[in-house]
Amino acid sequence: MDQRFSVDSVLIVGASGSIGQLVVAEAMRVGLDTTALVRDPAQSSLFPEGTRIAVGDFTRPDTLGEVSDGVNGIVFTHGTYGGAGEAEQINYGAVRNVLDALKHPARIALMTTIGVTKPTPGHDWKRRGERLVRASGLPYTIVRPGWFDYNKPDEHHVGMLQGDRRWASDPSDGVISRQQIAEVLIAALNADTADHKTFELVAEQGEAQSDLTPLFAALQPDSETTLDGPLDRDNLPLAVESPRVLSDLDAIRGRFQLSGPA
């Protein structure tokens, strides 16, 4: 990855959520200049002292004009399991709208979910959001976490899987703590070995690793010939996508003409 993308200033999308608040705190802990995107400025009380606040609604592009000013990293932690309309507006629309608002390149860390390739309205719109990030030409990492905070007391060893083969739709698919999700998302921003990687994130029996770099390095990078993760099922083909989704992809595709991972 081009070293000019060493991230020192980050925008957190979905900052007021249960993952977002931890991501803000983790970004502050490691010394990043951190901006929380919120709808209501009163939500500033949710974050550590020194957190910058950007007021905007990620479902309304007209409110996002200045939110990414001065940042060179963006972490997306938003999401819903609502119906198709809500899923499109939030799981997909937030990614499209924030990327559209970018005036300059930034490194992306996008959180979706384990099982994202199992067809449901919520999953399909999250998967389309992943495709927008891959098409953008920006450096990125896509993290698909397991079930939040279902860890047993001795399950903190981080595991990274690929191919999204766990479709039980219950904690047997994999578990991970919210805090570890936050740590992985922030670590990925400045790990060259995490660039252009997509993976499922789970915890296994054992202690947490102090260095995630070898885990990132062992992952297969995303292919330049597809908009899906490595080994993903080909069950949401572009050939049957709506003209509107294809138009969004065309609009973002290669908008930031940057090289892939070094």
pLDDT tens sequence across 249-259:
999 997 886 54
pLDDT for the residue numbered 259? 47
The answer as to whether 259 is a domain residue is: no
- pLDDT by residue (tens digit) across 88-140? 999 999 999 999 999 899 999 999 999 999 999 999 999 999 999 999 999 99
- Residue 258 is predicted with a pLDDT of 58
Residue 155 lies in a domain: yes
Q: What is the pLDDT of residue 153?
A: 92
In a domain, 261, yes or no: no
Q: Let me know if residue 93 belongs to a domain.
A: yes
Q: Is residue 262 part of a domain?
A: no
Residue 257, domain member (yes or no): no
Average pLDDT, the chain: 93
pLDDT confidence of residue 82: 79
Q: How many domains does the chain have?
A: 1
Domain of 48, CATH number, reads: 3.40.50.720
pLDDT at residue 220, rounded to an integer: 97
- pLDDT value, residue 80: 87
Does some domain include residue 260? no
* pLDDT at residue 206 greater than cutoff 90: yes
Mean per-residue pLDDT, 192-214: 96
- pLDDT confidence of residue 257: 67
Residue-level pLDDT at 262: 41
* For range 42-47, the mean pLDDT: 94
pLDDT for position 4: 52
The boundaries of the domain holding residue 138 are 3-252
pTM above 0.75, yes or no: yes
How far is the CA of 86 from the CAs of 76, 172, 204, in angstroms?
17, 27, 33
Model confidence band, residue 2 (pLDDT cutoffs 50, 70, 90): very low
